[in-house]
Amino acid sequence: MSAANPPEDPPTPTETETIQASAPLTATYPDGLPTPSRYWAILTIGLGLTLAVLNGAIANVALPAIARDLHTDPATSIWVVNAFQLAVTVSLLPLASLGEIHGYRKVYRWGLVVFTIASVLCALSSTLPVLIMARVAQGVGAAGIMSVNGALIRFIYPRRSLGRGVGLNATIGSIASAVGPSVASAVLAVGPWPWLFAVNVPLGLLAGVIAWKALPDTPHSGAQFDVGGALLQAVSFGTLLIGISEIGHGDSTFHVVLDLVVGVITGGVLVVRMMTQRAPLLPVDLMRIPLFALSVASSVCSFIAQSMAQVSMPFLFQHDLGMDQVMTGLLMTPWPLTVAVVAPLSGRLADRYPAGLLGGCGMVVMALGLATMAMLPEHATWHDIVWRMTLCGVGFGFFNTPNNRAIITSAPASRSGGASGMQATARLFGQTTGAALVALVFAAMPVGGTTWTLIVSTAAAGVAAAVSFSRLAAR
């Protein structure tokens, strides 16, 4: 069979049973939306994703001003960021499960509503506890947007061009990530920090109006929501995330071990509970599908590599190469901008070629880029850095879009919510782990820590490449 039409992955018995069970549910749903309805639907998806991604990063820039205005210390003010990230992480899979039960567009719509209302509360906050609680609500709203984002794209685009939709989604996310610090700086240049949250309101209202009219109806399983499973998942993921973060911040060994032990034990109980369910909140049923499991594993490894590199590079540029903050910001930009340029192309290729091949080659290129960054000359110029960062962006761009498409499409249509939630969870887990590993390497290697971090990052990208290529054999 030609490469232009790669064979479908043979379903495992579990997958076959799920597909058969969901056939009556999905048979009446068309293969994507017609134009121009598709364009309106993808517009609200793009607006929501932009808001969710931007608000995961812009608060970092405002932390000094927030700490000063709310009369708190810098260490405590970090909870403005951590509260958002923690709320997103523990909410993703439960909200994805609700999407499968009640429809993805309902979860997306109400995610926008909660996010917009929480943005108003953030802008009006006059004390740190109130701001942190508002950020928790904002994180839950953002999770509602991100948990079903990929699942909705599966119903917006026809299967033959699904890679284009995933590629466009990746482009939007990359651009939002790249311009986040610049947007925050621009807003703070003309107004106080509450404006960072106030600007979300008109965009959230616009996205909500479009979402109420344009998003497609999707299958409803009608199952009962697993409240006990959701609580177990929140405790497990929350304590693991806090434990990993505490490793990076050098907290006491007792607290780190306690959090990790609680997270592992509750996680084990959660997995046992999920094994007995037909459409579990934690998608252990999907992990029996080789293509899905390998795609999730390669995603985690790739985001560990990306996070390690992007957290450590500012230290490399400023401490080792003596560059200022402005130059550092400019030199960090080629990577996400290149991803934004490459993602649409890799999306089109993903509709024709196996994700294992595209993703594996992409991770090899990214590993080469990271390795050359680790070998930067002592007196490197901006030219030396830009082409290396661009190489990393090319590699990640060719990996991320095909990999996301594989995660979504390897699951049955009725389990698109679980697949979408797992995709976002893998990204957050990889990023958190990567940041913690940077702190560990820096503590172990006071001299040359940035170089060693990039070496470990290169190894993680190599593992991601190997896992990605193994999908070819799994087919």
Same domain? 304 vs 412: yes
Same domain? 60 vs 38: yes
Phi, psi of 223 (to 5 degrees): -75, 170
Q: Is residue 8 part of a domain?
A: no
Q: Is residue 16 part of a domain?
A: no
Hey, which bits of 65-191 come out as E strands?
A: none
Query: Which tokens is 351 given?
Result: 């509709």
Contact 51, 45 (CB under 8 A): no
Burial environment of residue 224 by CB neighbours within 10 A (0 to 12, 13 to 18, 19 or more) = exposed
How far is Cα 171 from Cα 88, in angstroms, rounded to an integer? 21
Contact 123, 177 (CB under 8 A): no
Cis-peptide, bond into residue 24, ω within 30° of zero: no
One digit per residue, the tens of pLDDT, for the chain of length 475 reads 344 444 434 333 333 333 333 334 444 556 777 878 888 998 999 899 889 888 876 776 777 788 888 888 766 777 887 788 888 888 888 998 888 888 888 999 999 999 999 999 999 988 989 999 999 999 999 999 988 888 888 888 888 777 777 777 777 877 777 677 677 777 888 888 899 899 899 999 999 999 998 888 887 777 788 888 889 888 988 888 888 777 766 667 788 888 889 989 998 998 888 888 877 888 888 888 899 999 999 999 999 999 888 878 888 887 778 877 677 777 888 888 888 888 888 888 988 889 899 999 999 999 999 999 999 887 888 888 999 999 999 999 999 889 988 888 888 877 878 888 888 888 888 887 887 788 788 877 777 788 899 999 999 999 999 999 999 986 6
What total of structural domains would you count in the chain? Answer: 3
Residue owning tokens 């979860």: 107
Q: Is residue 1 part of a domain?
A: no
Q: Is residue 13 part of a domain?
A: no
How far is Cα 332 from Cα 104, in angstroms, rounded to an integer? 35
What was the pLDDT predicted at 251? 67
Residue environment code for 401-428, b if the CB has 16+ CB neighbours within 10 A, otherwise e: bbbbbbbbbbbbbbbbbbbbbbbbbbbb
Burial environment of residue 305 by CB neighbours within 10 A (0 to 12, 13 to 18, 19 or more) = buried
The CATH number of residue 352's host domain is 1.20.1250.20
Which range marks the domain in which residue 127 is found? 32-218
Same domain? 301 vs 443: yes
Same domain? 329 vs 373: yes
Same domain? 267 vs 308: no
Q: Is residue 23 part of a domain?
A: no
Same domain? 263 vs 335: no
Q: What pTM was computed for the model? A: 0.78
Burial environment of residue 452 by CB neighbours within 10 A (0 to 12, 13 to 18, 19 or more) = middle
Q: Is residue 20 part of a domain?
A: no
Residue from 323, 358, 319 nearest 342 by CA: 358
How far is Cα 329 from Cα 309, in angstroms, rounded to an integer? 14
How far is Cα 297 from Cα 304, in angstroms, rounded to an integer? 11
Of 174, 190, 218, the residue that ends a domain is 218
How far is Cα 131 from Cα 69, in angstroms, rounded to an integer? 12
Of 189, 218, 247, the residue that ends a domain is 218
How far is Cα 20 from Cα 155, in angstroms, rounded to an integer? 19
Same domain? 155 vs 199: yes
What was the pLDDT predicted at 27? 43
Q: Is residue 21 part of a domain?
A: no
Same domain? 127 vs 247: no
How far is Cα 366 from Cα 393, in angstroms, rounded to an integer? 7
Q: Which amino acid is at 439?
A: A
Half-sphere exposure of 139 (CA within 13 A, CB side): 24
Same domain? 64 vs 158: yes
What was the pLDDT predicted at 124? 92
Burial environment of residue 45 by CB neighbours within 10 A (0 to 12, 13 to 18, 19 or more) = buried
Same domain? 108 vs 189: yes
Q: Is residue 139 part of a domain?
A: yes
Same domain? 194 vs 247: no
Same domain? 355 vs 264: no
How far is Cα 285 from Cα 274, in angstroms, rounded to an integer? 8
Query: Which tokens is 57 given?
Result: 């990063």
What was the pLDDT predicted at 4? 42
